[in-house]
Amino acid sequence: MMKHTYRLWLAACTCMVILLSACKKDYYQDTGTAKGRFNGSVMDYLQSKPDYFSNVVKVIGYAKMEQVFSKENITFFAPANPCFDSSVNLLNKILYLTGRDTIKTLDQVHPEVWRQLLARYVFKGKMMLNDIPQVDFLKFKTYPGQIVRSYDGVPMNLGVVYGNEGGAEYVGYRQLHISYQADISQPLSTWYKAPVASVNIEPDNGAVHVLVFTQHYFGFDINEFYNLCLRYGIAGK
């Protein structure tokens, strides 16, 4: 009898451990961090992750937009450090091939260049993934996403690509995209598209969506970046 009771007690303890482990796992999956909440401003969030955003923090300063990121309610499509590295490397190749001095540090680029390009990633108001309509780059007339004007009034296309799964259309993963074309009347094939890696990060004053850094040059159009640098001049070092 005692042996039977011990077995029942051991089984009950085992079940309790399993249940507690399951509850603990669910708890950590459902925490505020997992949902993207951040206690601080958009600027605070970027400054808290220098391995990813030290370059964009510098550029925000050069563009004199700190108050926008700290105080205003915004949505920011955040380019990570490699976006700047690849952009500057390619810019330097073009400068070298055209017989011009290359740049070594970001502050050699005129602040107005940074302001014009950075503002394309910033939108007034908070936009989460579910606030943005579907885009299908193969069926653009049916699912065109949405033209939204950036902080400085530049028309940008925002849209969510719905993936396919198990042979069913539009029921799979969802990936947010931001796209740019200087002339929005041009065919979609000429637009510069930037997919998003992480969505719905929620600082106190808006939303942050982090771009896939391996597929994006800062400013979208590297030729435009080059031309702006020539127009405003590059500071010597």
> What was the pLDDT predicted at 236?
62
> What was the pLDDT predicted at 197?
95
Geometric angle at alpha carbon 74, from 226 and 154, rounded to 5°: 40
Handedness of CA 222, 50, 105, 107 (dihedral sign): positive
Residue 156 host element (H or E): strand 155-162
Cβ neighbors of 216 (< 8 A, separation 6 or more) are 79, 83, 194
Amino acid 172 reads G
* Integer Cα distance of 196 and 212 in angstroms: 5
* Integer Cα distance of 212 and 104 in angstroms: 24
Residues 117/84, Cβ–Cβ less than 8 Å:
no
Pairing of the two strands 206-211 and 192-201: antiparallel
> What was the pLDDT predicted at 13?
41
pLDDT in tens, the chain (237 residues): 444 444 444 444 433 333 333 333 222 222 233 358 999 999 999 999 999 999 999 999 999 999 999 999 999 999 999 999 999 999 999 999 999 989 999 999 999 999 999 999 999 999 999 999 999 999 999 999 999 999 999 999 999 999 988 888 888 889 999 999 999 998 888 899 999 999 999 999 999 999 998 879 999 999 999 999 999 988 765
Cβ neighbors of 54 (< 8 A, separation 6 or more) are 81
Decide which of 3.40.640.10, 1.10.10.10, 2.30.180.10, 2.40.170.20 is the CATH code for 42-232: 2.30.180.10
Per DSSP, the residues of 67-104 read: HHHHHS-EEEEEPPHHHHHHHHHHHHHHHHHTT----S
> What was the pLDDT predicted at 35?
58
Q: What is the C-alpha end-to-end distance of the chain, expressed in Å? A: 88
**Tokens coding 115:** 């302001």
> What was the pLDDT predicted at 25?
29
**Tokens coding 78:** 């955040």
Q: Which DSSP letter does residue 39 get? A: S
